[in-house]
A and B are shown apart, each in its own frame.
Chain A
Amino acid sequence: MNTQWETVIGLEIHAQLATKSKIFSGASTAYGAEPNTQACAVDLGLPGVLPVLNEEAVRMAVIFGMAIEAHIAPYSVFARKNYFYPDLPKGYQISQMDLPIVGVGHLDIDVDGVSKRIGITRAHLEEDAGKSLHGSFHGLTGIDLNRAGTPLLEIVSEPEMSSAKEAVAYMRKMHELVRYLGICDGNMQEGSFRCDANVSVRPKGQKEFGTRAEIKNINSFKFVEKAINHEIERQIEVIESGGTVVQETRLYDSDKDETRSMRSKEEANDYRYFPDPDLLPVLIDEDFKAQIKAQLPELPQAKKQRFKDDYVLDEENATILTSSRSLADYFETVVKESGCEAKMCANWVTGDLLAALNRADLEITDSPVSHERLAGLLKRISDDTISGKIAKQVFEELWQSTATADEIIEAKGLKQITDTGAIEAIIDKIIADNQDQVEQYRSGKDKVFGFFVGQVMKEMQGKANPGEVNKMLKAKLQ
């Protein structure tokens, strides 16, 4: 009755590799073309055609392997996975089985401030299938083979996640990594990054795994969490009501927020894998690996540490800024172009800029405020041309227009007044008009000082240099 349940989750992530052409043909991989316009004879599986491996896909798989500190197989083999389906033109998918290109590696995730290392069993190269189109085809099904032959990297984790939250953290981390590495565009709507989740439950403390169900084709972070949580509940319910979980493949229906059975183990295909005789084994030597290592971009973990060390950023800012390579690049460019203190740059990027991007649902790469224009603004803050408060106003203008910060400051007359004569005149006037407050201050009520600052700033429409105002007020009131 009071059994405590424990969940075991493993994820298989399919990342579409960002090659220009397909894994075994020269056809384009671009998304969204008219059906079957990007499928050549090889993709259509016409008689007599042969696959030729795209070296770029191999390079990307090796980059990935290095990033997760995995063993890169010096010898890996493509195999045929046999099954009939109308969107699978050859009647087999070219994949890897016994000898995958990337071996055991790992990825560290953070959940609620606690770091956990998730093992990665393997990653292998394979071709994607086409798509069945259920539309107006007079009761028939249409087939679009544009996607057939698109390179995929299937990344298989160890069953080492114990909650939907961890699974999401893993998926997000992986999503960040493949985009960092430039090997996948990460576009989940277009199916460039999707996952299958293997979920099982067992009584707490039990060593053996429970029977697992595989949930297929989940293409958002939100759905992965919901689908897993739903599946955990379902399995516990089955067991607690005296039933047993059957090994099967389930599909997550996001509309109903439930998983439903696709096929059981008995109905499962025998894929009859065997080495593809049309393709030679992939041989990767030390030179090739050294070449790739030299081109390997800085990884998120290392970049975060460097941001903390070199820019003296706190944990939070460093984490946010390194969450994507383009955001990190943006930040570093702003620092370089503005010449300003890194901390101020970081605060602006993670603060005003990210808030505005979030509101507009935009990525940093689509930011209306380019790094040059933000750097231009920050320059004017640090050289005291404008105050921080005015800067926020200028930022709004930067977002709305294409003008530079200098143009906005000029046009709107926002330049800070540092002319001590002008400030002095105002101060004298305020003191003369507010003798009561002067008496209070002089009798020791320090708080009144703020009143004078406010009055002066108001009179000067915020454009007076606050430091100068403070200094002069203090002298006059003594």
Chain B
Amino acid sequence: MHNKTIAELAKGLRSGEFSSVELTTAFLGRLKQHSSLNSYITVTEDLALQAAEAADARLAKGDAELLTGIPVAQKDIFCTEGVKTTCGSKILDNFIAPYNATVVDKFNNAGAVMLGKLNMDEFAMGSSNETSYYGVVRNPWDVNTVPGGSSGGTAAAVAARLAVCATGTDTGGSIRQPAALCGITGLKPTYGRVSRYGMIAYASSLDQGGPMTRSAEDAAIMLQTMAGFDEKDSTSVDLPVPDYRAGLNNSLEGLKIGLPKEFFGEGLNSDVATALEAAINECRKLGAQVTEISMPTLKLAIPAYYVIAPAECSANLSRFDGVRFGYRCENPADLTDLYTRSRGEGFGKEVKRRILMGTYALSAGYYDAYYIKAQKIRRLISEDFKRALSEVDVIMGPVTPSTAFGIGEKIGNPIEMYLSDIYTIAINLAGVPAMSVPAGFANGMPVGLQIIGNYFAEDRLLNIAHQYQQVTDWHQQTPKGFE
């Protein structure tokens, strides 16, 4: 049951093969059994069973949607009314949101069953899930390695079949990198495609929620529910949402794929490169034409990102001050003490590092040299993508330089950790959509293929990924012990 796709489960729920309560109970059992992965921060067992009963009633009445009765989970960055929302931080350990994120509302309205809230790097700042206050998440393919981050809990849970599918968010690669390291399918939509309301902000101009699933078809179903204009989010885009499943079976004949030479140079692990070559070859067999392209601004992405994202986060995280909600230090002597200790004790090391970097970049005398310059670079990167995507339909490349690294291996070296997002960050700066698709293994660990498309071309990305998944079975592989 837990290996079925959303479409298969929807069929089973309608044919009476199993009920949502049975399905939900099975998943609740699995996630308890595999709690050592530490993928969940909060399990909402009672709420899940109530939602499953309601879903069964809806299924019986015949007004169910595809996601009705399907056990899903939310990254703990999405606010959930009445349920603890921590964002992976001690500072929100006692925070119960009085409202739902728009994305959460949409899943609830669709009748999906929420199993719980998923672990993540603190405030989505991290690439290994090691910055979480709630402890590291283990990669089900090798429990001594990281699942990636920041949506590491999501990636591990979906890969280990502890949820049918789940949400992630991606600011610099936080959906795609863990999807790649855990061998699942992840889609970062175009900036503005999915509402950010109720999604705790890290870097507002880069953050975007998206689906993390086992197949492209499941991602299409999830995105269908998540996407759309939200009047509560001024940066969400008021464009009609296409039927994402409608074009899944379109042919790839004549598809123009560009491979930026900057993506395949030094720094890319050779086993990963070999897996990617094979994957691109499969696309060729499906009718695609492959050309090498050049995107000279890509190398500027990491420095620009590490100015813009920390600058935005330094302001976004100012509201966590111990005054109105969240962690407050014991016996503050005065206002300054209240601020200093509440924040000092409530935030972890990486979060503090980024707040400091951002504060510095925005300070008088440095603003022009850092923030303004980074914005100029961002514009150049966007132009580079627009130009490249006017020559080819999609860009393909690696998601990560290597497969999953060991727990503790990089956490002491922030620069090395930051470089694990070298292939994903530019996409967020440009705002275009991109996917990570399972594309084989290197030394027994999953490798992801990145497919990058033009603004609002999510349907095309899903189509390519789906066609690729029709001729490969990488996405159906299950980590040992989680079959």
Q: Chain A residues in contact with chain B, CB under 8 A? A: 41, 44-53, 80, 82, 84, 86, 89-92, 143, 270, 272-274, 277-280
Q: Cβ of A47 and Cβ of B85 under 8 Å apart?
A: yes
* Closest Cβ neighbor of B336 among chain A residues: A84
Name 26 interchain pairs, CB-CB below 8 A, sorted by A. A46-B98, A46-B99, A46-B319, A47-B85, A47-B200, A47-B320, A48-B197, A48-B199, A48-B201, A50-B197, A50-B232, A50-B233, A52-B231, A82-B314, A86-B323, A86-B335, A91-B319, A92-B315, A273-B362, A274-B311, A277-B235, A277-B312, A278-B204, A278-B234, A280-B234, A280-B235
Beyond the given pairs A50-B196, A91-B321, 16 more chain A to chain B contacts, judged by CB atoms under 8 angstroms and listed by A's residue number, are A41-B99, A46-B98, A47-B325, A48-B79, A48-B200, A49-B198, A50-B233, A50-B235, A84-B318, A84-B321, A89-B324, A91-B318, A91-B319, A92-B315, A270-B363, A277-B204
* Closest Cβ neighbor of A90 among chain B residues: B319
Q: Cβ of B318 and Cβ of A41 under 8 Å apart?
A: no
Which listed residue, B97, B101, B199, B318, touches A82 by the CB 8 Å rule?
Answer: B318
Cβ–Cβ < 8 Å partners of A53 in chain B: 234
Asked whether any CB of chain A lies closer than 8 Å to the CB of B359, the reply is: yes
Min CB gap B322→A, angstroms: 10
Cβ–Cβ < 8 Å partners of B363 in chain A: 270, 272
* Closest Cβ neighbor of B372 among chain A residues: A274
Cβ–Cβ < 8 Å partners of A80 in chain B: 315
Which one of B79, B95, B101 has the greatest number of beta carbons of chain A within 10 Å? B79
Asked whether any CB of chain A lies closer than 8 Å to the CB of B205, the reply is: yes
- Classify the secondary structure of B's interface with A: loop
Min CB gap A129→B, angstroms: 13
* Closest Cβ neighbor of B206 among chain A residues: A277
* Closest Cβ neighbor of B78 among chain A residues: A48
Q: Chain B residues in contact with chain A, CB under 8 A? A: 78-79, 85, 87, 92, 95, 97-99, 101, 196-201, 203-205, 231-235, 311-312, 314-315, 317-321, 323-325, 335, 339, 359, 362-364, 367, 371
Q: Cβ of A47 and Cβ of B234 under 8 Å apart?
A: no
Min CB gap A97→B, angstroms: 11
Supposing A47-B319, A50-B197, A143-B323 touch, asked if A279 and B362 sit within 8 A by C-beta, the answer is no
Bound: A49/B319 CA distance, A: 11
Q: Cβ of B234 and Cβ of A51 under 8 Å apart?
A: yes
Cβ–Cβ < 8 Å partners of B196 in chain A: 50
Q: Cβ of B97 and Cβ of A47 under 8 Å apart?
A: yes
Q: Cβ of B315 and Cβ of A44 under 8 Å apart?
A: no
Bound: A277/B310 CA distance, A: 13
Min CB gap B138→A, angstroms: 27
Bound: A404/B325 CA distance, A: 60
Cβ–Cβ < 8 Å partners of A44 in chain B: 324
Bound: A44/B99 CA distance, A: 13
Which listed residue, B197, B335, B339, touches A49 by the CB 8 Å rule?
Answer: B197
Bound: A8/B311 CA distance, A: 38
Bound: A47/B317 CA distance, A: 9
Min CB gap A146→B, angstroms: 14
Bound: A45/B367 CA distance, A: 25
Min CB gap A132→B, angstroms: 10
Q: Cβ of B319 and Cβ of A45 under 8 Å apart?
A: yes
Cβ–Cβ < 8 Å partners of B339 in chain A: 84
Bound: A170/B335 CA distance, A: 38
Bound: A148/B339 CA distance, A: 20
* Closest Cβ neighbor of A83 among chain B residues: B318
Min CB gap B197→A, angstroms: 5
* Closest Cβ neighbor of B359 among chain A residues: A272
- 6 tightest A-B contacts by CB? A91-B318, A277-B205, A272-B362, A277-B204, A48-B198, A45-B319
Bound: A278/B312 CA distance, A: 10
Which listed residue, B85, B98, B311, touches A41 by the CB 8 Å rule?
Answer: B98
Q: Cβ of B359 and Cβ of A90 under 8 Å apart?
A: no
* Closest Cβ neighbor of B323 among chain A residues: A86
Q: Cβ of A274 and Cβ of B362 under 8 Å apart?
A: yes
Q: Cβ of A45 and Cβ of B324 under 8 Å apart?
A: yes
Bound: A278/B206 CA distance, A: 11
Min CB gap B339→A, angstroms: 6
Q: Cβ of B101 and Cβ of A279 under 8 Å apart?
A: no
Bound: A273/B87 CA distance, A: 26
Min CB gap B327→A, angstroms: 12
Q: Cβ of B325 and Cβ of A46 under 8 Å apart?
A: yes
Min CB gap B461→A, angstroms: 25
Min CB gap B75→A, angstroms: 12
Bound: A9/B199 CA distance, A: 46
Bound: A143/B324 CA distance, A: 9
Q: Cβ of A274 and Cβ of B371 under 8 Å apart?
A: yes
Cβ–Cβ < 8 Å partners of B95 in chain A: 47
Min CB gap A263→B, angstroms: 14
Cβ–Cβ < 8 Å partners of B197 in chain A: 48-50
Bound: A92/B197 CA distance, A: 19
Min CB gap A18→B, angstroms: 23
Min CB gap A23→B, angstroms: 13
Min CB gap A213→B, angstroms: 21
Which listed residue, B92, B199, B319, touches A89 by the CB 8 Å rule?
Answer: B319
* Closest Cβ neighbor of B325 among chain A residues: A46
Bound: A48/B325 CA distance, A: 13
Cβ–Cβ < 8 Å partners of A49 in chain B: 197-198
Bound: A205/B314 CA distance, A: 47
Bound: A274/B308 CA distance, A: 11
Q: Cβ of B92 and Cβ of A47 under 8 Å apart?
A: yes
Bound: A274/B315 CA distance, A: 9
Cβ–Cβ < 8 Å partners of B311 in chain A: 274
Which one of A41, A80, A91 has the greatest number of beta carbons of chain B within 10 Å? A91
Cβ–Cβ < 8 Å partners of A270 in chain B: 363-364
Cβ–Cβ < 8 Å partners of A89 in chain B: 319, 323-324
Cβ–Cβ < 8 Å partners of B320 in chain A: 47
Q: Cβ of B97 and Cβ of A48 under 8 Å apart?
A: yes
Cβ–Cβ < 8 Å partners of B371 in chain A: 274
Which listed residue, B78, B203, B205, B318, touches A92 by the CB 8 Å rule?
Answer: B318
Bound: A270/B362 CA distance, A: 9
Cβ–Cβ < 8 Å partners of B79 in chain A: 46-48
Min CB gap B313→A, angstroms: 11
Cβ–Cβ < 8 Å partners of B364 in chain A: 270, 272
Q: Cβ of B234 and Cβ of A50 under 8 Å apart?
A: yes
Cβ–Cβ < 8 Å partners of A272 in chain B: 314-315, 359, 362-364, 367
Q: Cβ of B367 and Cβ of A274 under 8 Å apart?
A: yes
Cβ–Cβ < 8 Å partners of A48 in chain B: 78-79, 85, 97, 101, 197-201
Bound: A196/B203 CA distance, A: 34
Bound: A45/B197 CA distance, A: 12
Cβ–Cβ < 8 Å partners of B204 in chain A: 277-278
